[in-house]
Structure 1
Amino acid sequence: MASGGSAKGYALVGVVVVIVLATTGVWNPFPKIWSWINQSDPIAEGVATWQTTIGGSPRSITISGGAIVVEYRTSVEAYGITAGVSLWKSDADWAGVAGTDGDAVVVVGRLLTKGYEVLDPATGTVRRRDTEATAVWTYADAVLDLRCSGAAECELSAWEPRGVRPMWTIAVPGIGFVFNASNPDLPDTRPLTSSQFTAGTAGPRPLPGLIGLPGDGKVQVIDTAQGRVVQTRTPGRDQRVTVVGSRILTVTGEARDGTCYYSVIAHDPPNGQAVWQRDGLNLRTADNGSACKQDRDPAGGYSVVLGVDPVGRQELIAAHDGRVLWHGDKGQNVLAVDDSYALIRSADSATLAARSFGRGRVGWKRPIGAGAQAALTPYAAVVAETKPPRVIAMSPRTGAVLTEARTDAKVFAVGAAGMILVSGRDMAYLAFRGSPAG
């Protein structure tokens, strides 16, 4: 007992001595100990170009030219794409990235505060300030902002990403104070999502030729090239109106016989004429059941919608003319889709096929595991496997592997030369083969 007490006493004296030495600046081992405790495991060992610890759990990440823009809950930070070095940090409640490469900008703002700032992604320098806008939408080639002086008096403006004067400004009465912050939801297609990919993995998309602004029970359809309202539609109680590509889709869900009966009609603005119509096409705008309450937009790409036929088989439809781009067999599932390609899982869940809409056929296939997830971006088709966990980025056109790594990290962003993976508070950059870093 005595020897045990002596050992504890010596240990206590040792701890006191170390603390005294640390506080007097003679010798401080704590930073090295803490660094060792917090040492991160490699996200993609032997594959990642670099890995760094970031300032918190990211809300979104965007690759913007030579910078990587990380949005947190109350701030935004930029890192260099070459080595992952922090470039700048700014307090902000929301952020969005507009433009590409040399004309890219970061748009930031505060909740419950009008206005926003346009920052340079490489330096954080303020390029333009606004004090009146309540909502902002960021695209690969434009910034849209909405300002309202009253519940029924609003204006929508379009800017080039680094422009100092709006390209156009139009009145959009009746919108009210329903939009705020960055990229509020508009009635269009919703991307297919999964747990291993974020909604912004593909980065900002080009400004559509048509957008819809809902408000006061109506949808105002705006031609973004000319800056004018080309049509206003008022959906019925059993209808949902969305703007997809160059068409306005009206989905009707009628409750009858304990189920929902769907029909879809596509109109051409500005003349309002019907272009095509399909009965029995379910665009999954409502939950299963007999209520038929449509509370979400159809899934799909920018001008392609994903539907289900009356016997439960999936199909992809071109919104422009109603053509069936692909009609699946029983059990086949679309994992990802955009305007050019679709990634389709076979009925036995063992094969992934990439279908090219331009060529009208399957471009490539590869084996996958049953729990695999996938995403499509302009630069890569990305597959996340679960057993064993790994991420593979491939050319959407040929299926050639651009990079792959054994990792369970989440894919946050894909750019022209590589992609960003995040695990906890660690971020890694995986360069594609053929890029300078790869």
Structure 2
Amino acid sequence: MKAIRLTFESFLFAWQALRGNLLRTILSLLGVTVGIFAIIAVFTVVDSLEKNIRSSMSFVGDKVIYVDKWPWVFGGDFPWWKYFNRPVPSVREYRQLQKQLGPNNAGLAIFASKSGNTFKAGSNSISDAVLQGVSYEYRKISDVPVAQGRYFTTQEVESARNVAIIGADVASALFPNGSALGQEFKARGRRFTVVGVMEKAGKSLLEIKSNDTNCLIPFGAFSKLFTINPGSGTGVSATIGIKGLDTDPGLLDLEYEVKGLMRNVRGLRPREEDNFALNRPEMLANAISGLFSVLGVAGGVIGSFAMLVGGFGIANIMFVSVKERTNIIGIQKSLGAKNYFILFQFLFEAVFLCLLGGAAGILLVYLITLLPQDSLPLFLSAANISLGLTVSVVIGVLAGIVPAVLASNLDPVIAIRAK
């Protein structure tokens, strides 16, 4: 109860002091507001960028190992000549993995894609679309959000039927006046029947790949349109994806098993290097996290300078406040007020002032996130709100501790005589 009463009385003193010098209070708040706004705005943009990029790369899948010719390498020298003559994953290797892979996986798929395609349906057409051939379990390793219709059946995939799951932009371009389900369109001279339409993904910051202009067909049907994995280096290369289990931390067991099977399938000797790459989405995630960690630190340092200016402003105003209220402090102490009460009173005032400024800065950031954004929607996370308020409290304590200590140590007799 004593702590609550002390806090309430300190709040009343702080509010009266701040309201009595409204203009000075507002000017002092500006420094903290700008500082918190700068810090939280930077972190908000960085978080939004990272979230947008990660969502743009959702097609990569989660907890998946990709068997490919080229490794995913970020930064530094890339010895491309070392990987150029490697064989690409083949359908035969995919079949071997299907037979030999143990239960330590949640799905195995082979897929290949070709961009720059033109689809036609009557007088309507769409160009620069992506045609992708997939095996049945592809949806287990990658995101296939079917909004209308259904996914392929095993019979459709095994018999290589000309059926397709198209993106939202493909559906609206080819069939603008009605549902695309059950309709036919032409791709590279062959007719395909639409069995599903994917959800609209919209614009993203990284246009690596978008389901909106994508068209999925059975891998066998895709093989009729393109030459898969030719030795001459022309045509389309396939990729094998293996989904891991949640019970396999880091997918280490799955990686060792796939590595051993691939070496056996390709007939590699014990001392020979791998002629394939095992890639994971974590490689992309780690590269992104490293990049945005640097951006976050840089933004935090820049915002800290603005926050430092705001802290000096609060400290200055607290020194002035102590000087103006020296007589009142003397009266309070003569009436029995303890030193800790005076100290807490001024410290609370500094923290309260900083919290008001910090809340104003966070509110400005929140208002910015409400503005319509196409390619980069901003969001203010609870973590950033907590960070802003915490920084405000810390700055308030640092800025107010010295004036509060000076006020609490004043001699009551000398303080009462002050004018």
TMscore range, shorter length: under 0.3
Greater share of residues in strand: 1
Please identify the structure whose Cα radius of gyration is greater.
Answer: 2
Query: Using CA pairs below 8 Å that are at least 6 residues apart, which structure has the higher relative contact order?
Result: 2
Normalised by the length of structure 2, the TM-score is: 0.18
Normalised by the length of structure 1, the TM-score is: 0.18
